[in-house]
Amino acid sequence: MSSATLSIRSLPTRYEPLTNVFGQKAKATFIESASDIEFAKRLISSAESAQQGKIAFISAASGSGKSTFVHGLEIFLADKVDHVERIPEQHELPVEQIPGYIAKIPRKGKITILNFDGRESPYFDQAQYQTFLGSLNGVLRQRPDLVILWPVTDPEFAERLIGILKKVGGNSAFGISPIHALKGPDKGQFSAVLEKILQVANWRLDDAAISTTEVEALIAKNDSIGAFLDALQSLITERFDVGSFGITFPMLVITISSGAPNIREVCRSLRRADSYYIEASRLLMYTRRSNVSEWWQNRSTHLKSALPHVIALFNAQLASISASCLVHAIAQHGKKDLKDLTSGVRADKGNAKRVMASSELYKFLRNEPLDNREYGSSVSPETYQSFDKIQAVSESRHRSINQAVMSLALDAGAEVPQLDYEKTLVKGLQTDVTYTSDRGLIALEFHHKATSESNQNKIAIYVLEKLKEYAINYGLADR
C-alpha cells in the first residue's frame, strides 16, 4: 500500500481526519442530506434576493456531520458556491479581527461559504461580541457574495449571538431561519458513507474480519453518522489490539521473479486493484483444491488466524521482477559462477538500471505507485535462457542472488536503510532481506520461479505457504 492509503487499524470518523488522510479525495466520501441541502439553497437564495451576505448557525451534536455538510456545499451546490473557506483558529485570528479579515476576501462570481467551525465559546465578553457582531453585520451588508455558516453543539450559545445580532442589525443578517438543526445522513445512508470511505482508502471490512451483520447492528444502535463510525472504529481497534502478542509485525513483501513474460499480470491478478496489497479472496479463488487453501479455510472463523486478518497484520504486499531484471542484476553484481550463467547477455549497466527502475520491486522500494511499463532493451532468447540457468540454482544460491538484486536496486536509486540479509526476526523464521523505512520494518521474501510454475495457481500457493509460515512463527496460528 502507498503511504496515502488508510491504515488497517484506523478509520477516520470526522471531517478533519478524513481530509488529513485523503486530502481532496475526502470529498468523494461526502453524501447529500436532502433537507440540509434545501436549507442551504434557501439561505443562498435569500442572500441573492436581499443583495447582502447572510449568516446561519448549524446546530447538532458532535459527530452529526456539521463540517462535512458545510464543506460539501461546494460539491452539491457547485452551480452557486465557488468554494468553502474556513476562518482561521482563535490563536491565529482573534475575534475582533474577523470582520477585517472577511472584508479582504476576494469577490467571486459565485457565493463564498465561510465556515466558522471551532469558534464556539459559551463564555465570552458581551461588549466585545457586540462590537464584533456589529462590525460583522456591517461587512455582510456590503458583501452579497458571502454566506457564513457557524457550526455549534450548544444551541444556547447560538441563541445568545442571534440575540446580539438582532439587537445591532435586526433580522437583515439572517435568511428564513437564523439557526438550522442539522439532520445529517439518515440511517439508510450510513452504509453508503462507509462504502465511500472504504473505496477511497482501498480497504475492505473483511480485512478486519468485520461482517456485514455487525455493521448493520452498529447502524441500528447509533443515530448519527459520527457515532456509527466511532463505534465501528472501536470495533476495529478491539479486533486489531495486538499488544498481547508482544511483537511488532513487519510489513511483509513477497517478491517473485520469473521467466514468464506475463509475470506482472499474474501478480496483479492476486492483488487489490492499483496496489501491491495481497487480496485474500483471490488467493483462495486460485487455490481451492490445495492443501494450503484448506489449511487457511479451517482457520477462517478464528479472528487471530483468519487469512484477511493475517494479511492485514503484516500489511502483506506482492511485487514482481522480470527475467531481464534478475539476469541484469547477476550480470552486474553476481559472483563469478553466477555471472558465468549469463553468457550471451551483454553486461550494460545503464540498461540494467533502467530495467530495475521500471520493476515493481523498485517502485515499491521507492514508495512509488504501480506502473505497468518496463523499460530497457527488448528481451532476447539468451536472457530467458540465462534466467532459467540462474533459477535452477536459486535454492542453493538464494542469498547471493538476492544480494545481486538489491545491489542493482541501490544502483538505480533505491534507499533501503539498515539493509540486512537472512535475519531472524522471530525464532524459527529467517527472512531473506530486511530494512527500515518511514513505513517501519520491511521484510522481503524472494522466490525465483520457474517459467512453467508461474501461473496464478502456483504463485498463489507459494504466497499462501509463505503467509502460513509467518502466521505460525509469529504465534497467530498453530501448525
Specify if 14 maps to a domain.
no
Query: Within this chain, do residues 170 and 191 fall inside the same structural domain, yes or no?
Result: no
Specify if 440 maps to a domain.
yes
Domain count, the chain: 3
Query: Within this chain, do residues 400 and 319 fall inside the same structural domain, yes or no?
Result: yes
pTM, full prediction: 0.62
Predicted pLDDT of residue 52? 95
Predicted pLDDT of residue 32? 87
Predicted pLDDT of residue 2? 41
Give the whole-angstrom CA distance, residue 102 versus residue 115. Answer: 11
Q: For residue 309, what is its C-alpha cell?
A: 486478518
Query: Within this chain, do residues 229 and 348 fall inside the same structural domain, yes or no?
Result: no
Domain boundary among 154, 181, 208: 181
Query: Within this chain, do residues 379 and 352 fall inside the same structural domain, yes or no?
Result: yes
Cell 512453467 maps to which residue?
A: 452
Sequence-ordered alpha helix ranges (H) in 106-262: 126-142, 155-169, 187-201, 212-221, 225-239
Sequence-ordered alpha helix ranges (H) in 358-420: 360-365, 381-392, 398-412
Specify if 27 maps to a domain.
no
Sign of CA dihedral 195, 198, 204, 210: negative
Specify if 102 maps to a domain.
yes
Walking along the chain (479 residues) 10 residues at a time, the average pLDDT comes out as 49 76 80 92 95 95 88 94 92 91 95 92 83 94 96 91 92 92 91 87 76 90 89 78 64 96 93 87 92 93 82 92 96 96 91 94 91 64 95 96 97 96 94 94 96 95 97 89
Specify if 81 maps to a domain.
yes
Domain holding 57: CATH number?
A: 3.40.50.300
CA 436 to chain centre: 21
Query: Within this chain, do residues 430 and 318 fall inside the same structural domain, yes or no?
Result: yes
Predicted pLDDT of residue 4? 42
Predicted pLDDT of residue 372? 58
Predicted pLDDT of residue 9? 59
Predicted pLDDT of residue 241? 53
Number of C-beta neighbours around residue 422 at 10 A: 12
Specify if 6 maps to a domain.
no
Sequence-ordered alpha helix ranges (H) in 202-348: 212-221, 225-239, 263-268, 280-285, 291-297, 307-313, 323-333, 336-339
Range of the domain at 202: 187-242
Query: Within this chain, do residues 425 and 325 fall inside the same structural domain, yes or no?
Result: yes
